[in-house]
Amino acid sequence: YSTTLTTSGGASPYTYALTTGTLPAGLSLNTSTGVVSGTPTAAGTSNFTITATDSSTATHATLATSYSIVVSLATQATLTASAAATTINTNGTTTLSTSGGSGGGAVTYAVASGSCTISGTTLTAPASAGTCTVTATKAANGIYDAATSAAITITVNTTPTPTLTFATQNTASVT
């Protein structure tokens, strides 16, 4: 963000001072040029007054002007959720991850449908076959709104029953 305050009348150069209120966090006033600039670090409304003073030697002319700047949260880049495996067996696990998003907000996962459970980034399948739908949310921080990913579906298959075979014939004869 950058804007230059303009002043006319009196004798230049002018000096500028923040006389009441505060600028949004991350912005500053150059008192020689009247430039308010920087990168806002938090959303909110800031109301403040800047006073311009001319450089006449006898009596300095001043002008105080009130300003308001509204800083809105930015929209995060697209957040994408993924799973190390999208098909797992009953009682199996897979690791969830995300890519994209913006800022340093924490990522959490939620089961939108199905009987899977999530602990941290580990999804555990239930004891029965079916599907689980999962979304990821990256929390808002001082700069970005929260973002939620598109849902991903994990298919849960019945764990196959092992088949045992004998290497030798299963009958015996006794004489």
Give the number of other CB atoms < 10 A from CB of residue 127. Answer: 10
> Which amino acid, residue 155?
T
- Own/partner contacts of 110-113, CB < 8 Å, gap of 24 or more, are 110/134, 110/135, 110/136, 110/137, 112/151
Per-residue model confidence as pLDDT tens digits over 31-86: 999 999 999 888 899 999 999 999 887 778 899 999 999 999 889 999 999 999 99
Least confident of 55-59, 102-106, 171-175: 171-175
pTM, to two decimals: 0.65
The CA-CA-CA angle for residues 116, 108, 118, to 5°, reads 20
